[in-house]
Amino acid sequence: MPHRHFILNKPYGYVSQFVTNHKRKKLLRDIYDFPEGTMAIGRLDEDSEGLLLLTTDGKMSEQVRSKQVEKEYYAQVDGLITEEALERLQQPVEIGLSGEKYETRPCKADILTPAPSFPERSRKIRDERHGPTSWVSITVTEGKNRQVRKMTAAVGFPTLRLIRVRIGHTHLGDLAVGGVKEVDAFDLN
């Protein structure tokens, strides 16, 4: 039986898994009737949104998670991010990981001007009265637990909203929130 591959625009509030011990968690199986044996490649935490690749092919999962494949995120951060903070993001950033200190690999980071236009999230971020926000594009080649959020916080600009928009050459594009598209393969290189 041939392997199947899917692109999902993961909504806010869902976990990147099909089963859990927590009865109140929203799962991927609640979005679409994926075939048995489907697995999420990498994860987006419950508060994160955007591109999630799913497959029935375990070898494909290993390939996508390799450090050769770029993962691009758009992060809405608290405050007007500075050039200095962007430069710091591009260098190794020390973050906490499972109680240990971890130094990230160098990455790409740019201010997004104008700000991207995404549909409103199901849970409001905050009001403008709490101060300005800005959007930044961050491209990493690793995927540690809550890494991008920890990186922006480490340089003084905590993430308010995080959306993965690209893995390799596979883009989120205009796929609707909660939308699923089956593809023949993922364009990774």
Q: How many CA atoms lie within 13 A of 112 on its CB side?
A: 16
Number of H helices, E strands in the chain: 3, 11
Report yes or no: 92 and 103 within 8 Å, Cβ to Cβ.
Answer: yes
Bridge pairing between strands 100-103 and 170-171: unpaired
Distance of CA 188 to the CA centre of its chain: 16
Determine the length of the chain: 189
For the chain, give the longest Cα–Cα distance.
Answer: 55
Strands (E) across 122-176 are located at 133-140, 159-167, 170-171
Q: Is 45 in the active site?
A: yes
Q: What is the DSSP letter of 126?
A: -
Catalytic residue among 45, 78, 184, 187: 45
Contacts (Cβ under 8 Å, ≥6 apart) of 83: none
Report yes or no: 119 and 139 within 8 Å, Cβ to Cβ.
Answer: no
Q: Which residues carry out catalysis? A: 45
